[in-house]
Amino acid sequence: MIKANSASITELHLVSVFTFSFDTKVNVTAATLMQSFISFNQIRSFMKRIIYFIFLFLLWTPAASYGQLGIAAGLNFDTMSDISGNREATFDNASGYHVGVFYNMGAGPVGLRIGAYYRDIADLELDTAGIVDAFDLTLIDVPVDLRFNLTATPFIKPYLLAGPVLSFPSSSNSDYDEALEKVSVSGNVGAGLAITVAGVTLFPEIRYAIGVSRFMKDKFQVGGFEFDSDEAQRQNSIMVRLGIGF
């Protein structure tokens, strides 16, 4: 009889432990899914606002029927904020290149430019307690710019740019790729010239993009180190680019 009671108590204990473990896993999974769902909703809401803005621009701008397709390429000089929290680490500055396409809409004082660019940042180095680890980083950038055309001559037209940029980062290093956010948002400002030569328009530009949203997750593991960051890592860039419009 005593053995039966002992077996029952052991069985009850195992059931309790299993139930606790199951509940904990369910709670953690639910929290993770909820966080991802909230992040997805925020990005979806942001995209809806951009689409709505583009629709209004096309509807209200008299010269919006004007369009110009172009290609562009240039150099980018990138920085990432350091990691602080349970462990500190610093990122070295890096440089790379970018190529892509853009589409200009509107010929009045205010226009709209939408683009898609491939950006490569090679050998981004992370220093953790004197241990340096390097990884590659590539991004797909989707800028949506307002273009403010300034007083111009017939052949040279200066302009200013401002707008948001959606970036989709990735790395061939699986640890760093897992540590990156799937989508990050930055604000972009710039200035350029539209120079018309023989029916082709050249667009030399300089741009500065500052990170608005988190670029890396708050908890991740890279290079054998676990990080629990108390501040968001943001990625900033200076870009020098030459575009050609047809």
pTM of the full predicted structure?
0.73
The DSSP secondary-structure symbol of 87 reads: S
**% of the chain beyond a pLDDT of 70:** 72
Which tens digit of pLDDT belongs to each residue from 12-36?
444 444 444 434 443 434 444 444 4
- Distance CA(140)–CA(162), nearest Å, equals 19
Which tens digit of pLDDT belongs to each residue from 87-108?
778 888 899 999 999 999 877 7
Our measurement of the distance from residue 77's CA atom to the centroid of its chain's CA atoms, rounded to an integer in Å, reads 15
65-245: CATH number: 2.40.160.20
pLDDT of residue 42: 58
Which tens digit of pLDDT belongs to each residue from 71-87?
999 999 999 888 876 77
* Domain spans, the chain: 1-60, 65-245
78 neighbors 216 (Cβ within 8 angstroms): no
- In angstroms, the Cα distances linking 89 to 1, 69, 129, 207 are 62, 42, 7, 28
Please report which residue ranges of the chain form alpha helices under DSSP H.
Answer: 2-60, 174-179
Nearest of 98, 113, 83 to residue 234 by alpha carbon: 83
- Out of 53-57, 158-162, 166-170, least confident range: 53-57
- Out of 83-87, 121-125, 154-158, least confident range: 83-87
Mean pLDDT of 178-189: 93
Our measurement of the distance from residue 4's CA atom to the centroid of its chain's CA atoms, rounded to an integer in Å, reads 62
Burial 38-77 (b: 16+ CB within 10 A, else e): eeeeebeeeeeeeeeeeeebeeebeebeeebebebebebe
- Distance CA(111)–CA(109), nearest Å, equals 7
